[in-house]
């Protein structure tokens, strides 16, 4: 859905001096497209993965000082802009979830289709691994994570098996966890929804990287730092992310005036305008070209007023 992102951001970025933030730099594909499409714009790219920063830095080198790359998580958006002396920007892009590079590198442990160390850290210089979560968290906490972050209906059954097996030997690799999940689930649960380990791996990844707590901070910060006339585009890949984005955008696009006022004062009027009708889905052609785009949900907003008085 890259083209849709570019088209939505275009009215805000087709002006001299425009600044756009790619909050999820990855390998720099979106950033390269932004710099090419909007030759007057300056890009700030954030990523917590140092290897991604190195590779994207090589990719974006031809654009010289038009690109500023920062080792940071999107939750630190406001702090990064403060450190650069930038009070407001004209465009912000989020492409959430795990990057293709991380999925394709077996030793990162994100993919359930191949055996690998259970790491799942997007920034491998800090934090705890997925193996540590599995081996040390209390059973009740593991159940909560699988239910809340993976929307796994069989969380209790899976966690019971995990606790039983970790007492014999701590978890270290993904293949053992995938096999355990297959054995733990009833036949009916294994016949729907793709790989039965998918939801557990998603839940562990979100927990290890603090993705939802980071997003809870990042989306409001983006709304706060986007200039009037500026636009925010978000691609999310599971319902928890999309729900959070939807709630923040909807709140910003809603009047806060008490009911019954004949004239709504400006301080109560919406500060955002929704640019998408609900969440837009990828086309069949996009999914055929990249099957990982299938769960994508796209939302966009424009800032139409300054902060409420």
- Binding site for S-adenosyl-L-methionine: what residues are annotated? 28-30, 47, 74, 95, 102
- The token duo for 149 is 């972050």
Q: Summarize the annotated binding site as residue ranges.
A: 28-30, 47, 74, 95, 102
| Residue ranges with strand state E in the chain | 19-22, 42-47, 67-71, 89-95, 226-236, 272-274, 297-303
Instruction: Count CA atoms closer than 13 A to 197's CA, side-chain side.
Output: 20
- The token duo for 7 is 């088209």
List all residues 6 or more positions away from 273 whose beta carbon is below 8 Å from its beta carbon.
253, 301, 302, 304
Whether 212 and 130 have beta carbons less than 8 Å apart is answered as no
Query: Among residues 90, 72, 79, 62, which one has the least CA distance to residue 24?
Result: 72
Instruction: Count CA atoms closer than 13 A to 252's CA, side-chain side.
Output: 28
Can you tell me the distance from the alpha carbon of 156 to that of 147, in angstroms, rounded to the nearest whole number?
9
């Amino acid at each position: 859905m890259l083209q849709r992102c570019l088209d939505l951001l275009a009215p805000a970025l087709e002006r001299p001096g425009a600044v756009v933030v790619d909050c999820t730099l990855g390998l720099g594909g979106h950033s390269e497209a932004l710099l090419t499409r909007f030759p007057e714009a300056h890009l700030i790219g954030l990523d917590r993965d140092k290897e991604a920063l190195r590779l994207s830095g090589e990719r974006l080198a031809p654009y010289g000082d038009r690109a500023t790359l920062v080792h940071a998580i999107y939750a630190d958006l406001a702090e990064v802009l403060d450190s650069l002396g930038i009070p407001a920007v004209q465009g912000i892009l989020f492409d959430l979830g795990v990057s293709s590079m991380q999925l394709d590198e077996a030793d990162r442990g994100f993919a359930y289709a191949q055996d690998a160390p259970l790491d799942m850290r997007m920034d491998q210089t800090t934090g705890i691994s997925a193996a540590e979560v599995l081996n040390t968290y209390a059973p009740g906490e593991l159940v909560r994570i699988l239910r809340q972050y993976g929307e796994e209906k069989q969380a209790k059954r899976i966690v019971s098996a995990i606790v039983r097996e970790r007492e014999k030997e701590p978890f270290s690799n993904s293949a053992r966890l995938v096999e355990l999940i297959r054995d733990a689930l009833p036949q009916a649960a294994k016949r729907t929804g793709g790989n039965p380990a998918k939801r557990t791996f998603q839940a562990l990844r979100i927990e290890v990287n603090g993705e939802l707590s980071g997003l809870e901070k990042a989306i409001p910060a983006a709304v706060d730092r986007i200039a009037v006339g500026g636009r925010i585009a978000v691609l999310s890949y599971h319902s928890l992310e999309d729900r959070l984005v939807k709630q923040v955008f909807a709140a910003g696009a809603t009047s806060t005036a008490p009911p019954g006022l004949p004239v709504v004062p400006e301080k109560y009027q919406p500060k955002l305008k929704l640019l998408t009708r609900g969440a837009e889905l990828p086309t069949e052609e996009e999914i055929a070209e990249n099957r990982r785009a299938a769960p994508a949900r796209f939302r966009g907003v424009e800032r139409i007023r300054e902060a409420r008085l």
